[in-house]
């Protein structure tokens, strides 16, 4: 049986996934901070695709830092397949929604914007 696409040599650019390709395959993106050695956090690739560029390489860490140590330079990224045995047992961080925050500024009363 041939080696699955996500397990091949990632040094070859043709063997890398974009978020769009990983979402189409139904893969999980596992992020682990090597600085604080916390347990990996799993994301669905289709959820990350809604927040990040769909053409982004999956092997590059996302631009958000570790929620425990706030480091963004020591993140290890791996791809995992969804296994039937893990359904109902594996914790995955899902996108619950995107909030738009109002931007406020101070100005003197009577000044026009």
Residue 108 lies in a domain: no
Residue 113 lies in a domain: no
Residue 51 lies in a domain: yes
Residue 19 lies in a domain: yes
CA nearest to 23, candidates 61, 54, 64, 62:
54
> pLDDT tens, 36-91?
888 888 888 888 888 888 888 888 888 888 888 887 788 888 888 887 766 777 88
pTM, two decimals, is: 0.71
Residue 110 lies in a domain: no
The number of distinct structural domains making up the chain is: 1
Residue 66 lies in a domain: yes
Domain span at 57: 5-86
DSSP per residue over 9-50, as a string?
A: -TTSGGGPPBHHHHHHHT-EEEEEETTT-PPPEEEEHHHHHH
Checking if the pLDDT of 110 tops 60, the result is yes
Residue 21 lies in a domain: yes
Backbone angles phi, psi at 65, to 5 degrees: -80, 170
Residue 103 lies in a domain: no
């Amino acid at each position: 049986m041939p080696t699955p696409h996500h397990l091949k040599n990632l040094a070859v650019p043709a063997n890398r996934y974009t978020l769009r390709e990983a979402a189409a395959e139904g893969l999980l993106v596992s992020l682990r901070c090597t600085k604080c050695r916390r347990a990996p956090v799993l994301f669905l690739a289709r959820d990350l695709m809604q927040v990040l560029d769909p053409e982004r390489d999956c092997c590059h860490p996302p631009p958000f830092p570790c929620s425990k140590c706030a480091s963004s330079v020591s993140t290890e990224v791996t791809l995992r397949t969804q296994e039937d045995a893990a359904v109902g047992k594996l914790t995955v961080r899902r996108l619950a929604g995107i909030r738009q925050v109002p931007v406020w500024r101070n100005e003197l009363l009577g000044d026009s914007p």
